[in-house]
Chains A and B, each alone.
Chain A
Amino acid sequence: MASVTDLSHHDVEAHHEHHLPTGWRRFLYSTNHKDIGTLYLVFAICAGLIGTVLSIIIRAELLEPGMHVFPLISAIMSGDGSLDAAKNMYNVFFSSHAIIMIFFMVMPAMMGGFGNWMVPLLIGAPDMAFPRLNNLSFWLLVASFILLMCSLFAEGSPGMRGFGGGWVLYPPMSSTVGTPGPAADFVILSMHLAGASSIIGSINFIATIFNMRAPGMTMFRMPLFPWSVLVTAFLLLLALPVLAGALTMLLTDRNFHTTFFEPAGGGDPILFQHLFWFFAHPEVYILIIPGFGMVSQVVATFSKKPIFGYVGMVYAMLAIAFLGFAVWAHHMFTTGMSLNAQRYFVFATMVIAVPTGVKVFSWLATMWGGSISLRPPMLWAIGFVFVFTVGGVTGVVLANAAIDRYLHDTYYVVAHFHYVMSLGAVFSIFAGFYYWFPKMTGYLYDERLAKWHFWVSFVGINLAFFPQHFLGFQGMPRRVVDYTEAYAFWNMVSSIGAFIGGAGTLIFVYLLYDAFKAKRLAGDNPWGPGATTLEWTLPSPPPFHTWETPPHIFGDEDAHAPAIAGQRSPA
């Protein structure tokens, strides 16, 4: 409704105050990119807190050998205090933790939250190309989350509640053999909706970025965050339909007697793994590439230098995205591939280290000789470069089929993907959050608290995940609720680290409370001369409608360097 009235007034100068929808209508019916971005961010924070609580409970169970925590939770929550119910609940918890963190925390925060908020501001567009589809994207995600919550309370394995087959949803664990109950159907439908939400969102980003840039904002003058969102949108558009297709096959296998993955009818469960990883490997880049964009802008801002190797950074993202579709079977080295297939996937996987290396070196080169100020966004960005590099290096180790034979499904893999995701992607989200929070809300946060948040999280999460490399080398399998005495020490260390990381999250929650309570006004640009992108020329918070008159982008349109707001010649 808001859009209809607003659109007809667009020709008039922007004095919409009396039209602004208020209360629940403003958000439920919102077609405004900033409001939808805010909704996504609030949603991501809530989901992230739930996912964090799940992980803390998992680590509490793994603190010591034996089972202590889940029998208790299971007895309280389902009334079934048996050991089997507790084990099932553990499986449900780690499966939900993964799905929540991937689909309801990282993706909504990066694409939905920062993408919606900042892409139109950064390219000088008045809003997204399809504002009403944007609204649909968000509320589909909420519906998807509700379905996932339903799965927790539906029957999965006989007599058990929830789906415990991991986020990978491999049949036969997710077929009627492993999970005859409707819990798996709820998860599948939830993923369908989340996928539809992201596909609609990515079409929106592609149209916006290709078609709605301000005059003079050529493709190679866009800042790196819109670039990263564009690349990610294409990944989503090509990868998510594959998941949707595979899950539909799984759904019809479960309910309508098709046999895509059912050997009895000539199907093959390994086919699901191929389809799943054809989606899921690009998916891990979907989770990290917007982070690349945010970190690039943060590093440039706080080094007070333009990003080093801008064009190289763009092509590196494109290369990573392209290669991401050609390496899926490195997740399947143990499924009995021929040596030549393994050789190809080892090689292709290692090639990805090259564009990734280009990015890491460019961030370092941007900082090199820069006038660095270690304010909170920069701390998180530097932290990102460190942990992402650690995760990247273990990724190169795992890319070797011969080593993967030993490390497959061990805690080494858990450590690897948490270093790139739980630390890498999350650190980049916090870098972006602390960077743009003053712009989005108009308030400054307490930088001392933000630094505490960083250091406590950094120490905690590294303490949690670094020892898991050792556990993996010792051979501890992932997804187990209990383990032998041999693994006790490093599990104890890892759990303590997780608790410290959890304390960091509490600091974050308090910081939010404090920032909104203290109401310290941020001003247009709290970061000084390094912040050269368009959003810093707007008031904080920006008015409801921005760039109805496109901003003036000065400088050479053929230059291959990000445009500098308000400056007549490129740096």
Chain B
Amino acid sequence: MKASGDHDGTTVSAGGRAARNNRLLGVGGATMAVTMIALTYAAAPFYSAFCRATGYEGTPQRVTANTDAAGHRVLRVGFDANVAPGLDWSFEPESESVRLRTGKTVTVFFRARNLTDKPAVAHATFNVSPEVSGEYFDKISCFCFTEQHLGPHESAEWPVVFFLDPSLETDESMAKVDSITLSYTLFAPPSEKPAPARSADRAGPAG
């Protein structure tokens, strides 16, 4: 048996070096834990940047102009408009769908109307499904990039300008996709919704 210096026949923790090593390992472990918490928080902005960059989860791409590369496939693009509880607006697409050749830019309109007697602000979230098509759905301009204001009983027509990237024709995930749905949901800003009351009407009994 080789006895090392800090095992001198008494307790291990009595040895000064062992205690120091314990503290070192303890601090190292705690640092690892804190780092992981920090990385978890860093995951939130990273994840949204990742979605924007890759189209993951059906996040459409935001581009400044069409590349004008003409494609061959013709896909149906459907539109879907929703209003989240807590916002008393009406919201609908002007046309239910369009048929669109890849590479061709199109402008569609959504109609919104504030049904209340008060001015209000709303923000639209959006995505496309199937989610793999997010990478090829390029928006040049959209009302969803900014907050929208509507006065009492005011209505508006909001444009969306987009095209489908012809490179989707080479992606096997897109081979069987003939129809893409662009969906919007209008939300009141989070701080303005009366949370408990709203949830009480919405959440039915579980099960």
A207 x B22 contact (CB < 8 A): yes
Residues of chain A with a CB closer than 8 A to B14's CB:
7, 10-11
A214 to B2, CA, bound (A): 10
A84 x B33 contact (CB < 8 A): no
Per-residue CB contact flags for chain B residues 41-82 toward chain A (1 = under 8 Å, else 0) read 101100110010000111000000000000000000000000
* Among B12, B47, B193, B200, contact of A126 (Cβ-Cβ < 8 Å): B12
B164 interface residue, CB < 8 Å from A?
no
Residues of chain B with a CB closer than 8 A to A249's CB:
40-41, 44
A270 to B39, CA, bound (A): 17
A263 x B187 contact (CB < 8 A): yes
Which residues of A from 197 to 231 have beta carbons under 8 Å from B?
A: 199, 202-204, 206-207, 210-212, 214-216
* Among A177, A246, A257, A271, contact of B199 (Cβ-Cβ < 8 Å): A177
B207 x A338 contact (CB < 8 A): no
Residues of chain B with a CB closer than 8 A to A339's CB:
132, 172-173
A202 to B205, CA, bound (A): 40
* Among B51, B130, B190, B205, contact of A268 (Cβ-Cβ < 8 Å): B51
* Among B9, B33, B191, contact of A240 (Cβ-Cβ < 8 Å): B33
Size class of the B contact interface (CB-based, 8 Å): 35 or more
Q: Give the shortest distance, in Å, between B194 (CB) and chain A (any CB).
A: 11
A548 to B10, CA, bound (A): 6
A265 to B3, CA, bound (A): 62
* Among B18, B125, B129, contact of A266 (Cβ-Cβ < 8 Å): B125
B195 x A212 contact (CB < 8 A): no
Q: Give the shortest distance, in Å, between A526 (CB) and chain B (any CB).
A: 28
Q: Give the shortest distance, in Å, between B63 (CB) and chain A (any CB).
A: 20
Q: A87-B207, A180-B200, A240-B33 are in contact. Are A126 and B2 (CB under 8 A)?
A: no
A164 to B22, CA, bound (A): 42
Q: Give the shortest distance, in Å, between A5 (CB) and chain B (any CB).
A: 14
B151 interface residue, CB < 8 Å from A?
no
Residues of chain B with a CB closer than 8 A to A337's CB:
56, 131
Residues of chain A with a CB closer than 8 A to B98's CB:
none
- Stretch of B24-32, B110-118, B155-163 contacting A (4+ beta carbons < 8 Å): B24-32
* Among A210, A271, A336, contact of B130 (Cβ-Cβ < 8 Å): A336
- B172, closest chain A residue (CB): A339
A505 to B68, CA, bound (A): 71
Q: Give the shortest distance, in Å, between B191 (CB) and chain A (any CB).
A: 6
A249 to B130, CA, bound (A): 28
Residues of chain A with a CB closer than 8 A to B195's CB:
176, 180
A239 to B36, CA, bound (A): 8
A271 x B44 contact (CB < 8 A): yes
Size class of the A contact interface (CB-based, 8 Å): 35 or more
Residues of chain A with a CB closer than 8 A to B10's CB:
10-11, 548-549
A404 interface residue, CB < 8 Å from B?
no
A246 to B189, CA, bound (A): 23
B203 x A215 contact (CB < 8 A): no
Q: Give the shortest distance, in Å, between B18 (CB) and chain A (any CB).
A: 6
Residues of chain B with a CB closer than 8 A to A300's CB:
none
Residues of chain A with a CB closer than 8 A to B125's CB:
263-264, 266
Residues of chain B with a CB closer than 8 A to A549's CB:
9-10
A215 x B26 contact (CB < 8 A): no
A554 interface residue, CB < 8 Å from B?
yes
- A84, closest chain B residue (CB): B205
Which residues of A from 357 to 379 have beta carbons under 8 Å from B?
A: none
Q: Give the shortest distance, in Å, between B87 (CB) and chain A (any CB).
A: 9
* Among A127, A176, A237, A557, contact of B29 (Cβ-Cβ < 8 Å): A237
Residues of chain B with a CB closer than 8 A to A267's CB:
44
A212 to B22, CA, bound (A): 8
Residue pairs across A and B with Cβ atoms less than 8 A apart, 8 shown, are A210-B25, A215-B1, A215-B2, A241-B36, A245-B39, A257-B191, A264-B189, A271-B43
Q: A203-B33, A548-B11, A552-B1 are in contact. List 12 more A-B contacts (CB 8 A).
A: A7-B13, A157-B204, A178-B203, A180-B200, A180-B203, A206-B25, A211-B18, A244-B40, A245-B41, A265-B187, A267-B44, A275-B43
